[in-house]
């Protein structure tokens, strides 16, 4: 079978370029949250933190994860529309590798979310974000964020294939978007009640946030990087297995 992933990826990217409001929508809400926390809540939150810490730099990793969690909902939506439009049924009769359809959407998600991340970082630079990270640290940050995006994108594939409505295809992303709020994204977990603190310190995004934050500040990452990688790879493997099972059932 011919692998047409590149062609299908180009098709999905053309749809985004013709309708750039999806990237704008994905980026604008996290940017507004970043501005809100920096200029409205930042002064109060900084009273419980080291005065030398730049709060924009502190919250940026959490804002980036929020943007990615929001962006993957569009992957589920685009996939749902292709399924409902009968595109999968037509392609199943063609000499195309079965996974090409899914990988086209997955690669589109990686690129579109990367654009959103770059836009948010540029806005953060304008309002005071600074980093002492070197090239290797930035490459590590890019790798972790890409792996997180890939894992969540495969999570998005599942509702994209199985949802009965557009609302159902995108609703799964809401809890993921709000996970950074119950983490160390905006304030140290030491300030939280015990029960909330236990959850905040042991949920998936906290280790990713701490890893990215340490890399941005040229600090030791400790065990956080291994925990972050374990979460991302675990979610990726499980989501991929369930997504491929749902895909085979859909085109059977």
Q: Does the pLDDT value for residue 192 go beyond 70?
A: yes
**pLDDT exceeds cutoff 90 at 144:** yes
Q: Give residue-wise pLDDT tens across range 6-61.
A: 656 666 666 666 666 666 666 787 888 888 888 877 666 654 445 555 788 888 99
Q: Looking at the predicted structure, is the pLDDT value of residue 173 above 60? A: yes
**Residue 170 scores a pLDDT above 90:** no
What range does the domain containing 180 cover?
Answer: 5-251
Number of domains in the chain: 1
Q: Is residue 140 predicted with pLDDT exceeding 60?
A: yes
pLDDT of residue 218: 87
Q: What DSSP string describes the chain? A: -B--HHHHHHHHHHHHHH-THHHHHHHHHHHHHHHHIIIIIHHHHHTTS-TTS-HHHHHHHHHHHHHHHHHHHHHHHHHHHHHHTTHHHHHTTSSB-TTHHHHHHHHHHHHHHHHHHHHHHHHHHHTT------HHHHHHHHHHHHHHHHHHHHHHHHHHHH-SSHHHHHHTHHHHHHGGGGTTSSS-GGGS-HHHHHHHHHSHHHHHHHHHHHHHTT---TTHHHHHHHHHHHHHHHHHHHHHHHHHHHH-
Instruction: Inform me whether the pLDDT recorded for 151 exceeds 80.
Output: yes
Pair 147, 236: CB distance under 8 Å:
yes
Model pLDDT for residues 65-108, shown as the tens digit of each residue: 988 988 888 888 888 887 776 666 565 555 556 566 778 788 88
Q: What is the pLDDT of residue 251?
A: 66
**Residue whose entry in the numeric block shows the structure tokens 């086209």:** 104
Q: What is the mean pLDDT of residues 216-245?
A: 92
Per-residue pLDDT reduced to its tens digit, 51-60:
555 788 888 9
The more confident residue out of 213 and 250 is 213
């Amino acid at each position: 079978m011919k692998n047409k992933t590149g062609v299908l990826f180009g098709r999905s990217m053309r749809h985004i370029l013709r309708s750039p409001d999806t990237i704008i929508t994905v980026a604008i809400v996290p940017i507004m949250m970043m501005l809100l926390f920096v200029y409205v809540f930042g002064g109060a939150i900084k009273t419980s933190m080291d005065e030398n810490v730049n709060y924009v730099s502190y919250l940026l990793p959490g804002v980036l994860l929020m943007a990615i969690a929001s962006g993957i909902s569009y992957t589920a939506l685009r996939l749902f529309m292709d399924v409902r439009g009968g595109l999968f049924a037509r392609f199943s009769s063609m000499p195309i590798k079965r996974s090409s359809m899914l990988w086209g959407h997955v690669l589109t998600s990686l690129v579109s979310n990367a654009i959103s991340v770059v836009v948010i970082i540029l806005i953060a630079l304008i309002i005071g974000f600074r980093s002492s990270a070197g090239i290797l640290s930035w490459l590590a940050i890019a790798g972790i964020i890409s792996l997180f995006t890939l894992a969540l994108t495969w999570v998005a594939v599942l509702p994209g294939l199985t949802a009965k409505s557009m609302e159902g295809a995108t609703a799964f992303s809401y809890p993921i978007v709000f996970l950074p709020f119950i983490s160390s994204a905006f304030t140290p977990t030491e300030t939280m009640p015990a029960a909330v603190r236990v959850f905040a310190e042991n949920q998936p995004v906290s280790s990713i946030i701490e890893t990215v934050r340490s890399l941005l500040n040229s600090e030791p990452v400790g065990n956080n990087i291994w925990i972050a990688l374990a979460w991302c790879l675990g979610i990726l493997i499980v989501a991929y297995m369930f997504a491929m099972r749902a895909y085979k059932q859909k085109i059977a």
